[in-house]
Amino acid sequence: MSFNYAKSARKILCIGRNYAAHIAELNNVKPQQPFYFLKPTSSILQQGAGAVLIPKGTVVHHEVELAVILNKTLKNLDPDAFSDKDAIDAIDGYALAIDFTARNVQDEAKKKGLPWSIGKGFDTFCPLSAFIPKSKIPDPYNVELFLKINGETKQDDLTSLMIFPINKILSTMSSVMTLEKGDIILTGTPKGVGKVVPGDHIVAGLKVDGVEIEEGKLDLP
């Protein structure tokens, strides 16, 4: 299984608040437009490379997400013209990702109007599965994302619940920053986010029509 995509990514962009029930659980406001933030590529943790690190003084939450990897440059896309099919054409493949978040650091930043980069950017805060070939996911809105801690299911929802579809996400981002071949886009987390502590055994994955996709497995010791 290939992890090369994780080494060559120029940037990681993540949508916030793309599932209504997750917005409600954090008492956030539903955005009119997709908003997003960067995670540093130094936060990538490849499947098999070890555990997520819980930095001292932080409360770390899991957010399981479907990641798309781009196969071309996208720049100043017309949001009215860039279709669902165009978006699929621009996708090289998929991955399962966890957008780990130091929630107390992020909450403090939100209160003070400071950037999210620290709360989102610690080393190991972006575990990525192996590359999932596009053929394995015929429809990115028909994917079941799940995450378990010590055997207990914490998140389990369908990507059909996304508020903003991928074409809308890509066109909005592309009007600000050029998206490049290899960029990794995290499409938001469904409800059920919560705390992880050192020693937790975290297993996450995705299913298509009830069948788990081997490449999408994440198993963090």
Q: Which two tokens stand for residue 118?
A: 């620290």
CB atoms < 10 A from the CB of 49, how many? 13
Q: What is the rounded distance in angstroms from the CA atom of residue 213 to the CA atom of residue 143?
A: 10
Judged by CB under 8 A, the residue of 27, 32, 81, 113 near its own copies is 113
Residue whose C-beta lies closest to Mg ion: 99
Q: Which of 30, 75, 195, 201 binds its own copies (CB under 8 A)?
A: 75
Among 20, 51, 88, 109, binds its own copies (CB under 8 A): 109
Among 3, 20, 25, 40, binds its own copies (CB under 8 A): 40
Q: Which is nearer to its own copies, 107 or 156 (CB)?
A: 107
Helices (DSSP H) in 60-136: which residue ranges? 84-89, 103-112, 117-121
Q: Which strand ranges, in their side-by-side order, compose the sheet holding 194-196? A: 101-102, 60-62, 194-196
Nearest approach in angstroms of CB 34 to its own copies is 10
Contact window for its own copies (CB under 8 A) among 18-26, 89-97, 117-125, 184-192: 117-125
Closest C-alpha among 104, 100, 107, 108 to residue 57: 104
By the rule CB under 8 A, 205 interacts with its own copies: no
Task: Indicate whether 99 belongs to the interface with Mg ion (CB under 5 A).
Answer: yes
Residue 183 near Mg ion by CB under 5 A? no
Are residues 188 and 157 in contact, defined by beta-carbon separation less than 8 angstroms? no
Contact 215, 135 (CB under 8 A): no
DSSP state of 42: G
Applying CB under 8 A, the span of 34-42, 62-70, 90-98, 199-207 interacting with its own copies comes to 34-42
Answer left, alpha or beta for residue 33, where phi above 0 means left and psi between -120 and 50 means alpha.
Answer: beta
Q: Contact between 188 and Mg ion (CB under 5 A)?
A: yes
208 phi, psi to nearest 5 deg: -120, 120
Compute the distance between CA of residue 87 and CA of residue 169 in angstroms, rounded to an integer.
Answer: 9
Interaction pattern, residues 152-191, with its own copies; x per rule: CB under 8 A: -----------------------xxxxxx-----------
Which one of 42, 83, 142, 153 is in contact with its own copies (CB under 8 A)?
Answer: 42
What does the binding site for its own copies look like in residue numbers (CB under 8 A)? 10-11, 13, 16, 29, 35-38, 40-43, 55, 75, 109-118, 121-123, 175-180
Site for Mg ion, rule CB under 5 A: 63, 99, 188-189
